[in-house]
Structure 1
Amino acid sequence: MMGSDSNPGLGWVGKAGYGVMALALSSIHNVFLIYHVDAYVNAFGISFGGFWVAELVFLAYNSINDLIWGMIADTNVHADRQDTRGLTRRIRNTVLGGIGMAVSFFVLWFPYTTEWIAVQFCINLILYDTFLTWVELNYSALMADLTVDSKERSDLTAWRSICSLIGCASVFLSFVVWDVHDLTNFRWLATVLAAFSGTAFVLGGAVLRGVVSQSARAASSTSSFTYDEHDNIAAHISQPSSSSSSSSLSSSSSSWSVSVRRWWRDFRRLVSGHNFAWFSLLHFLQVFNCHFNSNFFPLALAVLLGDHLSPLHQSLLLGLSFTLPHINNVLFSSLVKQHGTYAVIAVLLGTKLVLSGGVAAAGLSSWILTALFIASNRIFTEGTCKLLGLVVSDLVDEDFVRNRRSNSLSAFVFGTANFLAKPGQTLAPIVGSYILASVAPGLLFRSEMSGPYAPNRNTHDTEHGQEEQDTGDTTAVSTEAKEGLFYLMTLLPLACACVQLFAWWQYKLHGSALSLMKMRAQDNSALLKQV
């Protein structure tokens, strides 16, 4: 592992390379989050039933792919904490996955035919999410594999936030060119973003791989062991612990059935851990809350604030909601160094609870208060999401120590965490669209409206065959729809925050317990290096 006592660490060049890959990821993923539902619902004309079926199929796939890809990623890398060859493979996996992610992002906006839109939507979601999962697992695992030092991990998080902030420029551009009735300009932008993202993944990976290789050469010149000798010694050390030898997912000589049994044994040990179990509950709700905000943020802007903000101001507010979380994360990273991840996340969850409750109590009386809440809720929610990677890295270290491993299962731990949390990603649009269809009919799945979310002033009651007028019932329905959307946007994060704060209170890997675990992780790595 880099960043040990005998190693000067990544340096700013390596951290910049790590950040550039975050730039590549955020430049296309933010656009995907905002527009993929809107495009297929309002531009490509997917039906309500087709949307639900596609999302449910995607939910089933999305619930298992993180665990499977996490196992494959660690089996492929065999990331010994002292073997920089494993890091090189991890970087290569991230780059190749990033290229595939860019291609699948491009394909998403070009339906093959006007028929079977639901099938295309499902296939494109699965294709994009497969590459996204592979990238996120390997990229997130890089942090745990590169260093065990909390301060250096905070630096990596800061670089990731800064570069992700730059990538959010795509959000401003996309809002300017987005037109639900004519996607020509948007498709040109998507093409440019896909090419840029793939190139940035390649360049960032090349820089980081060069830093890792240089560190390996420096370490080999001062070590009396070769990598092969070191690997054999590390494996020999782990043999006194039967749990260590049986829990490793990476064994080139083992059969697939043996690997699956080992995977199942490791999975049960991981999920039975007290800290991991409570974190998984918090993580699930956070993923659900984050994706709900991303999917329905443009809708909330248009319906709740469309009468008060111009399209330009809506564009600025949307862009700020994606950029400010990354700016805040730079601040949060410095706060993490001073007060620890646990305290910072607790304050963010408490802030979300107070804001949601206060605005829900105030109601729709002030559109300015509503605008501030919609933006700030996304900011604090996304800020918490960005810090959870640090928590999972700590859980990787805990698993490394608790099970006396000779090699960390970084991608497996991240994959298991995502396996338990990712259903929230798919449930967010499903639950949101279902509730909105009940409390605010007409806001979604409307092809005849003059704008993406514009209310139809001349609708027909299909049950009674009576035409509604421009006044009267239409106004009442419009008010009811606004109130339904407003209370959904406020009460949902309020409920999430209450449960999350309780789960976070049960999480014990902080303070002295975290410091002791870090010392043991560093001692175990040092022991493997010295033998």
Structure 2
Amino acid sequence: MKLSLALHRPALAYSMTTLGAGMMNSIFNFYYVKLFLNRYKISEGAFHQAQVVFMIWNAINDPLFGYIQDNSKTGFCSIRRHSILYGAPFYALAFLLPWFPWKDYTEGEWLSGVHLLIALCVFDGLLTFVLLAQCALFAEISTRHESRLQLIKYNQIASLLGSSSILFCGLVSDNMENFPSFQTFTVFVAVLSTACMCYTGVFGISQYEQQEKLVESSGKSETSLSWAAVLSLTKQILTQKNFLLFVSMNFFQVFHSTFCSNFMIIFADNLIPKDALPSFVRSIMYGAGFMFPQLLVLSSHSLLSSIGYYKVILYAFYVEAISAVLMLLTGPQHFYILAAFLITNMVLVHATFSVFNLPLADIVDADFANYKRKSPLSSMVFGTNALFTKPAQSLAPMFVVTILNQYGYEQLTNKVDQPDPNLFVGLHDAMFYLTCIVPLCITIVQIIIWTPYSIRNSHVANAH
């Protein structure tokens, strides 16, 4: 493979949305649970209610937007880059919703629950509209495996830069302790992210866009699909064995990824003493958890080319399972080993998730070939995948918060009443076992599901 200094312009345009979205999504996922639990003092009931509504909306909006983007004749919906261009400013505004309280919340106040519900649903709705169009671009910019690896490469560089927002946010705001500085930084991130995504909106041209223009100019545009046709297409997608295997495995990956993003800071703050890891070191640690996955994927580029994503994903599951067993045997008293495990586990989970567009794109290609479609159902495939995997984003925090509160986490975050410190011995044990056992159980299930997946040689078939 020749090394070229020339920019791959389609990949650059595609990756700019990853840069903008990565800056916002990293901060949102990392801080929102701690913000509402520790600062806004949301009650457990309100937290769960917001997550249940969010889980339903989170699952519905992906196939809904997938249908709209694949079948609408309106330019800002049907043209992938226009969806990104017009959706980006609203996406950035939605990102700012949680960081500015509507009043000074008292403990357990109902309004904080409404705030969480609206923040989650609006943010995810705009995220879905923009990123679903970007996912479709991944499958439609090129069908060649090598070209898609180039997209992955640029995408990981952009994701690396975007995830550094966690590091800088932690340093600027002392890991959200300086809340006004935190708010100022989020506004800066929102503006910068909008500019990045608008670059994709201008220059991210799909190979099918010109074909669509030719069809429109010749007056042969197709009529929009009926809901019956949509259901029929969805059924065709769902009857593909490889799609079902991927979706089942991906559900647990989303659960695991959300578990790491939402609770790494909470587990580290409680299991690792302040004198063992000062705030500055913790900021670097949290930043590493979001930045190192991209470095790992970039360094694995040759592996993805030679052995393919199937084996890379499978081997990653084995490493995650083995490291969880070793940490469980080591115990929570070795703070530096525990810190290394938290980072390593998060890095592996996010790095593995970063290559999931490759199997999904292959599934789009297989569906396109099997049913001899005039154009690929990229958004519908990605949206249907999200229909079944996005609920894990709500189930993970609900599951963990329920367990933590059974061991007194609500009292731990209460600054007024100082309960008996012995009460929290069980809480810390619960946190440690969650840290080890959840990854172990998830990866065992994923290995079982992923093993029968049969699209394994696309890296060879498209290498020429």
TM-score, structure 1 normalization:
0.80
Q: State the SS of the aligned residue for 1:168.
A: helix
Deviations 1:34-90 (A, max 9, x none): 111111221122112111111111111112111111111111269xxxxxx999810
Query: Alignment RMSD, CA only?
Result: 2.8
CA contact (8 A) 1:42 1:180 kept: no
* C-alpha spacing 1:193/1:161, structure 2 compared with 1 (3 Å): same
Residue 112 (structure 2) pairs with residue 112 (structure 1): no
User: Quick one: distance in 1 between partners of 2:80 and 2:412?
Assistant: 42
User: Quick one: distance in 1 between partners of 2:411 and 2:391?
Assistant: 22
Matched residue, 1:318: 286
CA contact (8 A) 1:87 1:212 kept: no
| 1:160 counterpart letter in structure 2 | N
Residue 248 (structure 2) pairs with residue 281 (structure 1): yes
CA contact (8 A) 2:76 2:83 kept: no
Residue 234 (structure 2) pairs with residue 267 (structure 1): yes
* C-alpha spacing 1:17/1:95, structure 2 compared with 1 (3 Å): same
| 2:91 counterpart letter in structure 1 | M
Residue 445 of structure 1 and its aligned partner are, at CA, apart by 7.3
User: Quick one: distance in 1 between partners of 2:222 and 2:119?
Assistant: 34
CA contact (8 A) 1:41 1:445 kept: no
| 2:425 counterpart letter in structure 1 | T
Q: State the SS of the aligned residue for 1:319.
A: helix
User: Quick one: distance in 2 between partners of 1:33 and 1:149?
Assistant: 33
| 1:28 counterpart letter in structure 2 | M
Matched residue, 1:489: 435
Matched residue, 1:31: 27
User: Quick one: distance in 2 between partners of 1:483 and 1:14?
Assistant: 49
Matched residue, 1:511: 457
CA contact (8 A) 1:155 1:333 kept: no
Residue 322 (structure 2) pairs with residue 354 (structure 1): yes
Residue 168 of structure 1 and its aligned partner are, at CA, apart by 1.9
Of the three residues 254, 263, 266, the one matched with 1:299 is 266
Residue 386 (structure 2) pairs with residue 418 (structure 1): yes
Q: State the SS of the aligned residue for 2:332.
A: helix
User: Quick one: distance in 2 between partners of 1:370 and 1:305?
Assistant: 8
Q: State the SS of the aligned residue for 1:506.
A: coil
| 1:289 counterpart letter in structure 2 | H
| 1:313 counterpart letter in structure 2 | V
Of the three residues 209, 215, 224, the one matched with 1:228 is 215
Q: How many residues align?
A: 452
| 2:133 counterpart letter in structure 1 | N
Unmatched runs of 5 consecutive residues or more in structure 2: 1-5
Of the three residues 165, 174, 198, the one matched with 1:170 is 165
* C-alpha spacing 1:77/1:183, structure 2 compared with 1 (3 Å): farther
Residue 444 of structure 1 and its aligned partner are, at CA, apart by 7.1
User: Quick one: distance in 2 between partners of 1:27 and 1:433?
Assistant: 26
Residue 197 (structure 2) pairs with residue 201 (structure 1): yes
Matched residue, 1:403: 371
Of the three residues 92, 112, 121, the one matched with 1:102 is 92
| 1:395 counterpart letter in structure 2 | I
Matched residue, 2:3: none
User: Quick one: distance in 1 between partners of 2:89 and 2:54?
Assistant: 22
Matched residue, 1:154: 149
| 2:436 counterpart letter in structure 1 | T
Residue 272 of structure 1 and its aligned partner are, at CA, apart by 1.6
Residue 97 of structure 1 and its aligned partner are, at CA, apart by 2.0
Residue 134 (structure 2) pairs with residue 139 (structure 1): yes
User: Quick one: distance in 2 between partners of 1:226 and 1:125?
Assistant: 36
Matched residue, 1:343: 311
Matched residue, 2:425: 479
Residue 11 (structure 2) pairs with residue 21 (structure 1): no
* C-alpha spacing 1:261/1:299, structure 2 compared with 1 (3 Å): same
| 1:172 counterpart letter in structure 2 | L
* C-alpha spacing 1:383/1:180, structure 2 compared with 1 (3 Å): closer
Residue 11 of structure 1 and its aligned partner are, at CA, apart by 5.8
CA contact (8 A) 1:19 1:160 kept: yes
Q: State the SS of the aligned residue for 1:137.
A: helix
CA contact (8 A) 2:76 2:86 kept: no
User: Quick one: distance in 1 between partners of 2:353 and 2:73?
Assistant: 26
TM-score, structure 2 normalization:
0.91
Moved over 4 A (4+): 85-88, 178-182, 229-232
User: Once structures 1 and 2 are overlaid, which stretch shifts more, 329-338 or 21-30?
Assistant: 329-338
Alignment of structure 1 residues 410-489 onto 2, 5 Å: 410-438=378-406, 440-442=407-409, 446-448=413-415, 458-459=418-419, 468=420, 474-475=421-422, 477-489=423-435
